[in-house]
Amino acid sequence: MGMENDLDPFDGEAGEPLDTVVTLPTGLTGPDIAKACREAAVAFIDESKHWGKAELGMWLTGTYATLTRHASREKDAPVWPVPLLRDIDARLVARILESARAEILDSLALMAKDGSASFVLRALIAGTVTRCEDGAREPAWAPTGEAPRLADRVLSLFAVDYLGRPGDYETELCVCRQCETVTFDGIARQRGCNHGLQQSALAPRRHSTLPYPPIGA
Ligand SMILES: [Zn+2]
């Protein structure tokens, strides 16, 4: 590329515009987006067990659309073609939700187990997350809304959160496939999920520390 092309935004053989750095709206910082992405992604895991078509539609056109608006290259593109969602059979929606949840939990469980960040790498390569800057020119990350599959959409939100604060994923991420939960709790991570058992239900365990277990124990 010659010097004369340095300012040409349409440099490149395919005539594609060069990637320009997205600037977040004033007042919105990288940590704000990471926090909102984590909340939306964890809410998906927690709540989608009970969702139908209407709730999925609301999450996509509300929460998800709001988060992906800032870095989207196609500002007016629908996040999911509305007629398509309307025509989808309710049982198919249930299956899509279930398989998306399973895929997301598998990806996060792998990360919690051995630190594998492969889902983050896939998000970067697929362009479902992008680097951007906030108003103070601090680097940040944002979801682009370009993920075609539901699982990739939710994983792009976790990826943005991870890129903003990887330490949380190394020391606090706690995933339970059985309970289908994702939490950020360093103590729970050490201890392992108690699968919803209350502390009182765990109390009898202290008997196991007696030097002489009761007969029959
Ligand atoms: Zn559990």
**d(CA 57, ligand 1 centre) in Å:** 28
Query: Which of 194, 177, 73 minimizes the C-alpha distance to 185?
Result: 194
CA of 171 to the centre of ligand 1 (A): 18
State the Cα–Cα distance between residues 149 and 69, nearest whole angstrom: 17
* pLDDT > 60? residue 189: yes
Q: What is the pLDDT of residues 97-131, one digit of tens each?
A: 999 999 999 999 999 999 999 999 999 999 999 99
User: 196: CA distance to ligand 1 center in Å?
Assistant: 6
* Percentage with pLDDT > 70 across the chain: 76
Q: 72 with 189: CB under 8 angstroms?
A: no
Q: Indicate yes or no: pTM above 0.75.
A: yes
- Ligand 1 centroid distance, CA of 199 (Å): 14
- List pLDDT tens digits, range 45-57: 999 999 999 999 9
Q: Closest Cα to residue 161, out of 114, 106, 104, 113? A: 104
Coil, strand or helix at 76? coil
User: What is the model's pLDDT at position 18?
Assistant: 52
Give residue 3's pLDDT: 43
Residue 126: name the closest of 161, 99, 103, 155 by CA.
155
- Comparing C-alpha atoms, which of 2, 163, 193, 157 is closest to residue 67? 157
Kindly state the average pLDDT of the residues 181-204: 79
- Contact of 182 with 162, CB cutoff 8 Å: no
Cα-to-centroid distance, 2 and ligand 1 (Å): 59
Tell me, in angstroms, the distance from the centre of ligand 1 to residue 217's CA.
26
| CB distance 116 to 167 below 8 Å | no
The alpha carbon of 79 and the centre of ligand 1 are apart by a number of angstroms equal to 32
**CA of residue 99 to ligand 1 center, whole Å:** 19
> Tokens for 175?
């995933």
16 pLDDT more than 90: no
Tokens of 139: 């680097």
Average pLDDT score over the chain: 83
